[in-house]
Homo-oligomer: A and B are copies of this chain.
């Protein structure tokens, strides 16, 4: 995702391990095919993450809101693709001034394929678009989990439209688009900040502006847990995300056309996988120690926090360091979830703890393994992206709030969004044999 410039630097560091005759023996066209294939193969893995978010969120809401969560996620994935085509991609990558690209529809001019032959690192423009597009959808999914169970459907989808068409791409242009943040030396390999924190910040503003679910916080400040209705579904979602993340991080190598590149993708798979493993084990250990019982939902969140944490630099760390980075992510999430509750910020699925807290940690952790990273540059990125996203999201949520409204009525919330907004139930049956109740 980072520009090729950045990638080559990163590679330089990685290559110090062994002298490699990079690209020496691979013909230009063959490299082109490999690079493109990497985008496509890793792209379909990231596409699959849309299902992961859907199942995770569907499992962590109550039954009466499950269908709505299904609908929102399939709708946001659809909208993200269309918007990224209509505006987003070019706003992020086309003629970036430093702060913004250009407003225009994406058109696949396959610069890589010319009569003059192939340049190093070439790939098909369309495969890159496809890979980038699925990232945008991930950002939107994060928001949908946090504000579940009370946000109105159409206003949420309008927010999604703006997030995926405008908010995400503009900040993306600063770094991956080659803008000022990349010049400032900000490093975020696969998007701990650029994808996950952005989703987290948008979710945070949304959760605050929309307010907590009725009954979540008692009058004297006590927290009333609202358990998710279907933990197997949430677990399935976590596994899907874990699988998809191999594509998310692996594909962000942006190339597979040399031995060194494919070797690096292997390292990324290993680190991504082990960071998640570290997150699971850490979250299990923490909940056992603090609460004397392991909490499955925290273990799931721990896996995801580990994944988010390693995303900013999945290549440079040793496997041991990757486990540690993931484990810290897993620990953070165990503290972040009740901390948010103490602030009465109601995040239904733990999205803010996982993606925002984990994303910030991951972006900082780059300095532990990547010599090119500076803490100043990393903090600059974190703060700039955060401030921008909070301000922009707040404006959009506020406009929505004071025009169409963002929250269903109390009665609709009680009845559940499935009944109130969709007029159906996720599991409509009652009485094993009676279908027509």
Contact = CB atoms under 8 A, between A and B. Distances in A.
A15 to B, nearest CB: 9
Interface string A280-318: 110010000000011111011001000000000000000
- The oligomer's copy count stands at 3
A268 to B, nearest CB: 9
A294 B117 contact: no
Interface in A101-151: 105-106, 108-110, 112-115, 117-118, 124, 126-127, 129-130, 133
A229 B428 contact: yes
Interface string A70-112: 1101110111011001000000000000000000011011101
A85 B51 contact: no
Nearest to A153: B294
B231 A426 contact: yes
Contacts of A239: 48, 50-51, 54, 74
Contacts of A224: 436
Contacts of A20: 113-115
Given A58-B235, A239-B50, A427-B231, A82 B293 contact: no
A177 B54 CA distance: 40
A331 to B, nearest CB: 14
A27 B436 CA distance: 63
A55 interface: yes
A288 to B, nearest CB: 8
Nearest to A81: B277
A246 interface: yes
Interface string A206-232: 000000000100000000101111111
Given A19-B115, A55-B232, A277-B79, A226 B63 contact: no
A227 to B, nearest CB: 4
Contacts of A106: 319
A32 interface: yes
Contacts of A19: 114-115
For the side of the interface on A, what is the size category? 35 or more
Contacts of A75: 280-281, 284, 299
Interface stretch (A34-42, A166-174, A353-361): A34-42
A5 B77 CA distance: 37
A18 interface: yes
Interface stretch (A250-258, A332-340, A380-388, A400-408): A250-258
Nearest to A257: B33
Interface string A246-283: 11001000001111111101110110011011101100
A323 B115 CA distance: 31
Contacts of A27: 25-27, 30
A175 to B, nearest CB: 24
A277 B426 contact: no
Given A25-B117, A303-B74, A266 B436 contact: no
Contacts of A124: 259, 262-263, 266
Interface stretch (A197-205, A365-373, A414-422): A414-422
A70 B296 contact: yes
A13 interface: no
A398 interface: no
6 contacts: A26-B33, A75-B299, A81-B277, A129-B270, A153-B294, A227-B425
Given A74-B235, A226-B436, A227-B424, 20 more contacts: A36-B265, A36-B266, A37-B256, A44-B246, A48-B239, A51-B236, A58-B235, A70-B231, A70-B232, A71-B294, A71-B296, A85-B274, A118-B259, A124-B263, A126-B266, A126-B270, A229-B429, A230-B232, A231-B427, A414-B433
Top 5 A-B pairs, shortest CB-CB distance: A51-B239, A78-B277, A126-B266, A25-B29, A127-B266
